[in-house]
Amino acid sequence: MGTGGTPQRRVAQPTPLHPGAWWLWSLSLGTAATRTTNPLLLTLLITVSAYVVATRRPDTPWSRSYGAFVKLALAVLLIRLLFATVLGSPIPGTHTLLTLPEADLPAWAQGIRLGGEVTAEALTFALYDGLKLATLLICVGAANALANPSRLLKSLPGALYEMGVAVVVALTFAPNLIADVQRLRAARRLRGRPDKGLRGLLHVGLPVLEGALERSVSLAAAMDARGYGRTAQVPAAVRRTTAALTLGGLLGVCAGTYGLLTAEGATYGIPLLLAGLAAALAGLRLGGRRSLRTRYRPDRWDVRAWLVVASGVAVAALLTLAAARDPAALHPGVVPLVAPTLPLWPAAAILLGLLPAFVAPDPKEPW
């Protein structure tokens, strides 16, 4: 109640998007990144994911991990270029940039060299290859920054709950570690103490490890208090059927995927893949009967979640189609060395990935 008996109006909070939709969208963008080595298209994919993260990222500790993934991607790119410079590359080239002192290796190390000529073709190939992996890492970082891990755990099937707990704990370890480091460095700056260099690292490292240990003990106590690991009594026949369906389904998925990747197995690949998926889902459904847990206010998979997933899947499907129809545009050559060009309709397809920035709810603004 407000002053004078006037009731205060509560501001409704927007319903958050289903976390599974964010992961499917991010993995679809990562799949699109694996279909091309064109640096212009890969840069466009990074820009799309960064814009969505900037507009739809909540203000939580785990959402700040996106910067760490970007730094990891830059490190991967630099390491790939360093390896191409020091260890050489199988890509032939005629444009020599520099010549490093070459070390004589024994006969058993044939095919490996240290030093020698560094060509523009080899560095360009390494740049394209490293940028593809960096883009994939940034897309995974976008999923970590946008999807709430605890809500994602709630949405998992009962058969995957224990595995999901382990994955969620692993995914939240790095963001919590980064938040602890930032908090301790800010505290040291306020006290006028150094927070950089080897000395600052030594003084920050021990409290961070202590906080991680305390968090692990608290998590173990909370899981034990909530009955984690308790299972229901299921007949032996149901357990055997669950194991057979799950194992057979996974084998069918592997065989169907292999068939799709080979020209000879294209006829049986799709039916075997669909049958394997059906068997695996049936096994997970039966396996969920062993999990004794309830869901409080489960996340709804609404129209916005379908739109977010559809935008990512459309990007992946169109990039896959473009790679099959025009491989030269999506994989620019390095021998001879040519400047990459921006194919128009694949670039327009990547822009479909911006749809979540407009249809997903903004966590920073109440309704």
Beta carbons of 179 and 211 less than 8 angstroms apart: no
C-alpha to C-alpha distances, 359 to 14, 30, 48, 55, 58, nearest whole angstrom: 12, 21, 15, 11, 15
Q: Which residue's entry shows tokens 């009594």?
A: 233
Residues 186 and 252 placed together within one structural domain of the fold:
no
Residue 248 shares a structural domain with residue 312: no
Q: What are 96's strand-pairing partners? A: 119
273 and 241 Cβ atoms separated by less than 8 Å: no
Q: What is the dihedral of CA 227, 229, 235, 237, to 10 degrees?
A: 160
Domain-embedded: residue 268: yes
Shared domain check, 160 and 215: yes
Contacts of 188 (CB under 8 A, 6+ apart): 194, 195, 200, 203, 204
- Asked whether residue 297 is domain-assigned, the answer is no
Residue with tokens 């070459």: 102
Name which of 328, 324, 312 is nearest 38 in CA terms. Answer: 328
Domain tally, the chain: 2
Phi-psi region of 303 (alpha: psi -120 to 50; beta: other; left: phi over 0): alpha
Q: How many residues does the chain have?
A: 367
Tell me, yes or no, whether 137 and 280 share the same domain: no
Q: Tell which residue, 257, 253, 240, has the closest CA to residue 280.
A: 253
Beta strand pairing call for 114-119 and 96-103: antiparallel
pLDDT of residue 204: 73
Is 138 within 8 Å of 73 (Cβ atoms)?
yes
119 strand-pairing partners: 96
Q: What is the 3-state secondary structure (H, E, C) of 40-80?
A: HHHHHHHHHHHHHHHHHCCCCHHHHHHHHHHHHHHHHHHHH
- Do both 216 and 316 map to the same domain? yes
277/133 Cα distance (integer angstroms): 28
Listed residues 290, 313, 330: the one ending a domain: 290
pTM here is 0.69
Q: Is 367 a member of any domain?
A: no
Question: Which residue from 107, 40, 23 is spatially nearest to 332, judged by alpha carbons?
Answer: 40
CA dihedral 100, 103, 108, 111 (to 10 degrees): 10
Residue 10 falls inside a structural domain: no
Do 224 and 332 share a structural domain?
yes
Are 170 and 311 part of one and the same domain? yes
Determine contact, residues 365/55, Cβ cutoff 8 Å. no
Report the C-alpha gap between 269 and 254 in whole angstroms: 10
What is the rounded radius of gyration, in angstroms, for the C-alpha atoms of the chain? 25
**Are both 99 and 199 inside the same structural domain?**
yes
The one-digit pLDDT tens for each residue of the chain (367 residues) are 445 555 555 444 567 788 888 989 998 999 899 889 999 999 999 999 999 999 988 887 777 788 889 999 999 999 998 888 888 777 777 777 777 777 777 777 666 777 777 788 888 888 998 999 999 999 999 998 888 776 776 666 665 666 666 666 665 666 677 777 777 778 877 777 766 766 666 677 777 777 777 776 776 677 667 666 566 666 777 777 877 887 888 788 888 777 766 655 556 677 887 888 888 778 777 766 666 556 556 677 889 999 999 999 999 999 988 888 888 888 888 878 888 888 898 999 999 999 999 988 877 664 4
Same domain membership, residue 333 and residue 353: yes
Asked whether residue 172 is assigned to any structural domain, the reply reads: yes
If asked whether residues 61 and 148 sit together in one domain, one would say: yes
- Report if residue 366 sits inside a domain: no
Whether residue 152 is found in the same domain as residue 243:
no
Q: Residue 124: which domain range?
A: 15-230+302-359
Position 329 in a domain: yes
Give the residue from 248, 263, 290 where a domain finishes: 290
**Residue 328 domain flag:** yes
Shared domain for 334 and 197, answered yes or no, is yes
Selection from 127, 162, 123, 167 nearest residue 23 by Cα: 167
- The DSSP output letter for 291 is B
